[in-house]
Structure formats: structure tokens, C-alpha cells
Amino acid sequence: MHIIHSLIGVPKISRKATGINEECLTVGPLPAGYGVTLGNSLRRVMLSSIPGTRVTGVKIAGVTHEYTTLPGVHDSIIDILLNLKGLVIEKSDSGIEWLTLSKKKGGMVTAADIKCPAGVTVHNPDMYITALDASFDFTAEIRIERNVGYVSIDELKHREDDTAVLLVDANFSPVISVKYDVTDTRYGEITNLESLDMVIKTNGVMSPSDVVKFSGKMLESYFALFNEDALQVGGEFIADIRQVIEREKQEVKADLEKESYTPIEIMGLSPRTLNALVNGDILSIEHLTKCTEAKLSSIKGFGKKAMTEVREALATKGCKLLGDD
């Protein structure tokens, strides 16, 4: 994580339901620029890479192409296919499954009339498919697939051998929309921070929270490619998240010190010197003035140049190290 988190702690995440299958996720505080970095990355993964199940083909008794008309059926074949595209369905495993739809009497045909095998669930059983006259029997087979991304009719044609199958293009993602907004925020005297708000809406097969978790894991798997031992560039400017979390726990357990707290960030120290002090758990000017030269010299990465810099910065505030004349 960014070195600033050594001072402000780990970003907090809060969630709030904003509608049916809709949730607002707030993350912050974050370093400047990280709101867009995280928001845009997560949004792209959510819209393109979440697996889902959709209808990709339909066979209707008595129908040879989408422009066929069936006496006794109130909707055109094209409208029926468009309605079936809206089927919200969950499938536990990958691959292709055929479902049966049979209506032996007149009336409205809905998704509830679809016979589903074990492992397949229809989430919108009230969805309208078509309506029939009393004398008409309607029979159809519906092909569903669990996949990721988008598949066009042209792509489906290349793998389809059965000419009786009416092809349906499919967007497999259960995510309906993702919006994000970045606002300025602060932490004490530190003002150049951001907060990320994301509003995620799904079709109900996956919850917004699960979509966020899946997207985070997806990005993590790619970033892990760069996590090699040889790539230790700028390590002194990277906060160890485990150390930050552990220090926060210790601070809460100790209930903090009953004294004024002035973060050392306002001293204007160089990043290298600031990082050395933070790694040595010296986070405030009050704590710094209780340290001797020997104490600071024992901190890893804190040399003579850093000692001079700290003394000069303290002097501008009328302070000095313990033991200095």
C-alpha cells in the first residue's frame, strides 16, 4: 500500500443498500489518484468478467426461422426470443443445458412454465414470454449456457449444426450497471486524500457484495504476476499492510496516550526520513521529542542526513530531541 497509509491507517469499507439488488460501496480514505485507479479497474472487471447464465438458443415446435408465424400465439417469434433474453437464471456448473417449456392450454406463458433440472434456478418466474389462444399447444426447448463476456449470433453460427435452433446473442454478466464517483476527503491535517463511492446493480443471481469480491480476486490474480522477489523497486516507500493493521490493533488496545497528537507528516520531512520514522513507530512530534539521538540512530534506514533533517524541522517548531542542549 501507499506509504501514506502508515499515517492514516487502512482504508475503511462501508456498504449500504440503495435498491433491489443494488448497493453503494464506499472506500476511503485513499491517496490522491487512487479513487479513479481502483474505481475504473473494478468497474471494467465487473462489466466484462463476471460469469453468468443466459439463453443462447431456442427450438420451438413448428418454427423453422424467426420470421415464422404461429396461429394462436399472440407474439411474433422475434418478440418471444427477445423476452427469453430477459430470463434471469442461475446454473451451478459450466457448460450447456437444455430446458423444456410446454403449455398445453391457452393463457399466458411465463418463465414459471419452464421445467428446470437440479442445479438450475429461474429468478424471475413471473417474466412474460407470450400468450396463447385456448386451442394452441406451445412447446419449446431452451438452451442455456454459463459463460463470461458477450457472444454474438455470428459467433454462435460457427458452432451450431442444428438449423432448427434459433440463435440468441447473450451478455452473460449478472451485472446490470456500475457507477463510481471520487470525492475529496481528509484525515486530520492531511487533506490530499480521496473517497471512492461505487454503486453496483445486479440481476439478483449474484449480490453486489459478491461481485466486488470476485472482481477484487480477479485483479489480485493479475497483480500477483508482478509480485516477484526481484521486483523490490522503491520498497522504502511502500507500507506493509500487515504492519499497519497490527500497529492499529496495538494502538486501540493501548487506548492511545492521553496527550496531544501532532502527526509528523506536517513537518515536511523527505519521504525517506518520514518512512524510517513511521517504520520505527514514531508517528507524532510529541513522541519524536521524547527520543534520544541514540534511539533514532538505531532505526533502520535512519542515518546522519535524516538526523540533521529532523533536528532542523524540530527547531522550526521550537522543539528538540531528548538530550539535545
Residue 21 sits in a domain whose CATH number is 3.30.1360.10
- At 243-289, the pLDDT tens digits run 666 666 666 556 545 556 788 888 889 988 998 898 888 988 888 98
Distance (Å, whole) CA 168 – CA 58: 8
139 φ/ψ sector (left φ>0, alpha ψ -120 to 50, else beta): beta
Q: Are 172 and 53 within 8 A, CB to CB?
A: yes
Q: Tell me whether residue 38 is in a domain.
A: yes
Residue 71's pLDDT is what?
Answer: 85
Least confident of 42-56, 133-147, 202-216: 133-147
Average pLDDT over residues 14-27: 94
Question: Is 65 in the same domain as 164?
Answer: yes
Choosing from 206, 237, 268, the residue where a domain stops is 237
In this prediction, residue 256 carries a pLDDT of 45
Q: How far, in Å, are 1, 4, 276 from residue 192 at the CA level?
A: 16, 10, 22
Name the domain boundary from 171, 194, 211: 171
Rg of the chain on CA atoms, in Å: 30
In a domain, 218, yes or no: yes
Is 77 in the same domain as 135?
A: yes
Same domain membership, residue 215 and residue 141 = no
CATH number for position 159:
2.170.120.12
Domain end residue (candidates: 237, 265, 281): 237
State the residue range of the domain holding 305: 257-315
Together in a domain, 148 and 57 = yes
d(CA 227, CA 49): 22
% of the chain at pLDDT higher than 90: 53
Do 12 and 113 belong to one domain?
A: no
302 in the same domain as 195: no
Strand partners, 2: 238
Q: How many domains does the chain have?
A: 3
Same domain (yes/no): 88, 118: yes
CA-to-CA distance for 78 and 75, rounded, in angstroms?
8
Same domain, 43 and 180: yes
Residues 6+ positions from 21 with CB-CB distance below 8 Å: 176, 201, 202, 203, 204, 207, 208
pTM of the model: 0.67
What whole-number distance in Å separates Cα of residue 97 and Cα of residue 87?
14
